[in-house]
A and B are shown apart, each in its own frame.
Chain A
Amino acid sequence: MKSTGNIYTICKDGDFKTRLSFLIMGAGNLLRRQYIKGLLFLAAEAAYLFYMISFGWSGLYDLVTLGTVQQGSVYDPSVGFNVTVTGDNSMLCMIYGVLTLLLTACFLVIYYVNLKSAFYTQRLVEAGGRAPSFTDDLKQLLDQKFHMTMMTVPLLGIGAFTVLPLIFMILIAFTNYDRSHQPPGNLFDWVGLQNFRSMLWENDLLSGTFFPVLVWTLIWAVAATVSCYLLGIAVALLINKQGIRFKPLWRTILVLTIAIPQFISLLVMRNMLNRFGPINTLLQNAGLIDSALPFLTDVTWARVTVIVVNLWIGIPYTMLMTSGILMNIPTDLYEAARIDGAGPFKMFVKITMPQIWFVTAPFMITQFIGNINNFNVIYLLTGGEPLATDYYVAGKTDLLVTWLYKLTADEKDYNLASTIGILVFIISIVFSLIAYRRTSAYKKEEQFA
């Protein structure tokens, strides 16, 4: 397949049958007796043309205008009174428009494959070979082209449930699809970069929410990642310490928090930390405090509480990983160090830590990005509260991602939510690009090749 060349060589060296494939897909295959393959290409072309003529063109046009007729009542002279007009649905206009674009992209790929296939068959026949039959092609799908077989379903899934929605939401960030422009009652329209301008500097309320929330998100992500990492390693060292018995038991107790669904454990935590919850009750009954501690109601308390409760969730992950690594460090390394007179601290710094760091550095990056987007801990524990009057529908513990969720689910300000999503994406990608370039695991990947 390697020698099939590009569009240019196909144009130059293709014979009549191959060139006919530019116009009629599958012609090259049909004329060389690959009937099934040829018919499939032809069917693809026919289906695409049919789709474009019947829906596609208007779909693309609607994507540009996002609908022109607003729903409402219009006086109809033929009946003599006002009638309701359905109007255009900007949301559907956009969905069909994006879908048409995706289908066109697919079609172009098939078109290119068709040309290559025609040219390849031509070359084969010229060299005195036999054009591969449909069965031969199918057999190839289990061997040389096995990756195509394996990737088809995954790619369809990603296309429909990740790429299509994502393109769609990215486009929303450039519209005014907010609470006062809700289809089908109202139309929304393109506004260019207006949302980004409002979010970053023009609108004081929005930028006055965005930047404090961003700063808290970063503080949270750093604090949560570093605290879980260091304490997780400490706990792992403790459990794997020489002479400690019941190692599997300790490990299992800690790992319980991974097994229990977070919405249960965190909702339970939230109720435990409530003003009337058991922790305050126990402390008050014991006479240690006079009034209930404001775990989740005072800003500073709440911020510290979420970081501390997050340890309960996060330590076990680091502990598990580190335990695995500790068991794999060869003991002769330590013996050699001991003979050379190294103490326990020095051995930790010079042997244990480098080993752990080497393996867990990529894990740290994913944890950091994961914490920037740590929805569960914040949403289930505080719901973003305590509320802030100077914020736009966000609370003092809200992360960008929980704010995004509130804007989507409660406020229907989809354009703002999408804008935040894109900004979070930019932040994540910048951090991970810096970090990935520095870790060895990324560079090493091709060693396996």
Chain B
Amino acid sequence: MKTASIKRRRRISNTLAYIVLIVLSVVWVFPIFWVVLISFRGESGSFTDYFIPKSFTLDNYINLLTDTSIFSYPTWFFNTLIVSVCACLLTTLITLSVAYVLSRMRFKLRRLYMNIALVLGMFPAFMSMIAVYYVLKTIGLTQSLTALVLVYSGAAGLSFYVAKGFFDTIPRSLDEAARIDGATNFQIFYKITLPLSKPIIVYTAMTAFMAPWADFIFARVIMGDNYEKYTVAVGLYTMLSRELIDQYFTQFAAGAVLIAVPITLLFIILQRFYVEGITGGAVKG
């Protein structure tokens, strides 16, 4: 008798939970669904007073990829890809080095460095935007992809917290055993720590790879009006400016879908590492 009532109560509460989850999922997917619809919409212009498009077409995608007279989406795409790959390599290297050193070695300025990093992180990022621009201008690098790579990975040495948290959880006894066998710190790093750190390497590389696809501030400041060197983010952002939105809204949607799909897939595949990355140090510790 009693178990039956518990069962019934659980069934009711689970049904409620499913309803909430379904509502949430609809809310979460709705904007994404809408962009996909727009990207296939036959009618141009920004807004329509109906929701489902009257005609469907692939023209938005075709125009986006082939009509390169004013905006060249393929060029933007390859610019972003080059920048992402370079920034990803550089950032991963820098972040992991710093995190490893701070986690495993003890030296005089270690504590000071960590506190300074904390303090530097408190300044709003855009505050120094103009100064970064002038620094790049002084060394003659504005309006170039190299400048973007440098800007995206320049401060990587400050974002070591997650990786350090992960390294902290790798048992020190492994290091000590290797040291007894005569390994140097360098050998310990690349023969023992790195092979054990796959999740954090993937996490660091992934966040670094995704950043250039999302940044429209620094890229815009550095590239100015040089459309040829735009990244996808700046380019798509430009398409939605007040003067252009009516003409380019459907193409914007197509462009957005084209970059969101691979990034989302990549993210879903690597989600496990991401979760381990952000919770790793905290949960296991």
Q: Which residues does A use to contact B, with CB under 8 Å?
A: 91-92, 95, 142-144, 146-147, 149-151, 153-155, 157-158, 160-166, 168-169, 172, 235, 238-239, 241-244, 250, 252-265, 267-269, 271-272, 274, 276-278, 281-282, 285, 312, 320-321, 323-325, 328, 359-360, 362-363, 369, 373, 375, 400-401, 404-405, 408-409, 414, 417-418, 421, 424-425, 428-429, 432, 441, 444, 448-449
Distance between Cα atoms of A269 and B32 in the complex (Å): 9
- With both chains docked as a complex, state the minimum distance between the C-beta of B52 and any C-beta of chain A, in angstroms: 10
Cβ-neighbour of B283 out of A165, A282, A325 (below 8 A): A325
A166–B129 CA distance with the chains assembled, in angstroms: 9
Chain B residues with CB under 8 A of A169: 127-128, 130-131
CB distance from A422 to the nearest CB of B (A): 8
A146 touches B105 (CB 8 A): yes
B223 at the interface (CB under 8 A from A): no
A264, B256: Cβ atoms under 8 Å?
Answer: yes
Contact of B128 among A168, A253, A448 (CB under 8 A): A168
Which of B21, B127, B134 is the one whose CB lies under 8 Å from A421? B127
Q: Is the CB of A264 within 8 A of B236?
A: yes
20 contacting pairs across A/B (C-beta < 8 A): A142-B186, A154-B156, A155-B157, A157-B150, A157-B153, A161-B135, A163-B120, A166-B120, A166-B131, A235-B24, A253-B24, A258-B267, A259-B264, A261-B260, A263-B236, A271-B47, A404-B124, A408-B130, A429-B119, A432-B118
Question: What residues on B are CB-neighbors of A250 within 8 Å?
Answer: 21, 24-25
Q: Which B residues lie at the A interface, using CB under 8 A? A: 10, 13-14, 17-18, 20-21, 24-25, 27-29, 31-32, 34-35, 46-51, 93-94, 97-98, 100-101, 103, 105-107, 110, 118-120, 122-132, 134-135, 138, 150-151, 153-158, 168, 184-187, 189, 210, 213-214, 216-217, 221, 233, 236-237, 240, 249, 252, 256, 259-260, 263-264, 266-268, 271, 274-275, 278-279, 282-283, 285
The answer to whether A259 and B31 touch across the interface, beta carbons within 8 angstroms, is no
CB <8 Å contact, B17 and A244: yes
Contact B283 A162 (CB under 8 A): no
Closest Cβ of chain B to A152, distance in Å, is 9
CA distance A162 to B249 in the complex (A): 37
Q: How far is the CA of A360 from the CA of B135 in the complex (A)?
A: 38
Q: Which residues of B contact A362 (CB under 8 A)?
A: 282
Q: Which residues of B contact A400 (CB under 8 A)?
A: 124
* A157-B153, A254-B28 known; A263-B214 Cβ under 8 A: yes
How many Å lie between the Cα of A359 and that of B281 in the bound state? 10
**Given known A169-B128, A169-B131, A274-B47, contact A324–B283 (CB-CB < 8 A):** yes
The A contact surface, by secondary structure, is: helix
**Chain A residues whose C-beta falls within 8 Å of the C-beta of B263 in the assembled complex:** 259-261
Asked, given contacts A153-B94, A263-B237, whether A165 binds B131 with beta carbons under 8 Å apart, the answer is: yes
User: Separation in Å of the B131 CB from the closest CB of chain A?
Assistant: 3
Q: Flag if B155 contacts A162 (CB, 8 Å).
A: yes
User: Is there contact, CB below 8 Å, between B154 and A91?
Assistant: no
Given known A-B contacts A157-B154, A274-B47, A257 and B28 have beta carbons under 8 A apart:
yes
Complex: A338 Cα to B96 Cα, angstroms: 44
A166-B120, A414-B130 known; 16 new pairs, CB 8 Å cut-off, are A91-B134, A142-B187, A143-B184, A143-B186, A146-B105, A147-B105, A147-B107, A150-B97, A162-B155, A241-B17, A255-B271, A262-B214, A272-B34, A281-B47, A363-B282, A373-B124
Q: How far is the CA of A328 from the CA of B110 in the complex (A)?
A: 32
Contacts of B93 in A (CB 8 A): 153
Residues on A with C-beta less than 8 A from B50 are 281, 285
- With beta carbons under 8 angstroms apart, the residue of B34, B118, B185 that contacts A144 is B185
Bound form: Cα–Cα A400–B260 in Å: 30
A157 contacts B94, C-beta separation under 8 Å:
yes
Pair A263/B126 contact, Cβ less than 8 Å? no
Whether A264 contacts B278 in the complex (CB less than 8 A), given A161-B154, A405-B126, comes out as no
Known contacts A146-B189, A157-B157; is A253 also within 8 Å of B130 by CB?
no
In the A-B complex, the 8 residue pairs with the smallest Cβ-Cβ separation, listed nearest first, are A161-B154, A154-B157, A421-B127, A165-B131, A259-B267, A165-B128, A324-B279, A261-B214
Query: Which of B126, B158, B278 is the one whose CB lies under 8 Å from A158?
Result: B158
Shortest CB-to-CB span from A16 to chain B, Å, is 29
Q: Contact check, A268 vs B31: say whether CB atoms are below 8 A apart.
A: yes
A261 touches B259 (CB 8 A): yes
Q: Which residues on A sit within 8 Å (CB–CB) of B124?
A: 373, 400-401, 404, 421, 424-425
CB pair A261 B210 closer than 8 Å: yes
User: Hey, which chain B residues are within 8 Å of A143, CB to CB?
Assistant: 184-186
- The answer to whether A162 and B128 touch (CB under 8 A), given A157-B154, A256-B29, is yes
A146 touches B101 (CB 8 A): yes
Chain A residues positioned under 8 Å from B216 (CB to CB): 263
Q: How far, in angstroms, from A401 to B129 measured CA to CA in the complex?
A: 12
B236 — which chain A residues lie within 8 A by C-beta? 263-264
In the complex, which residues of chain B have a beta carbon less than 8 angstroms from the beta carbon of A151? 97-98, 101, 157
Q: Which residue from A164, A268, A328, A369 sits with its C-beta under 8 Å from B34? A: A268
A282 / chain B contacts, CB cutoff of 8 Å: 51
Are A281 and B17 interface neighbours, CB within 8 A? no
A260 cross-chain contacts in B, Cβ below 8 A:
32, 260, 263-264
Q: Are B14 and A243 touching (Cβ within 8 A)?
A: yes
State whether A142 and B260 are in contact (beta carbons under 8 Å apart), knowing that A147-B107, A150-B101 are contacts in the complex. Answer: no
B106 touches A373 (CB 8 A): no
B138 contact set on A, CB distance < 8 A: 92, 95
Smallest CB-CB separation from A270: which chain B residue?
A: B240
Q: How close is B93's CB to chain A, nearest CB, in angstroms?
A: 8
Q: Which residues of B contact A285 (CB under 8 A)?
A: 49-51
Contact of A146 among B120, B154, B184 (CB under 8 A): B184
* Bound Cα distance from A366 to B147, whole angstroms: 29
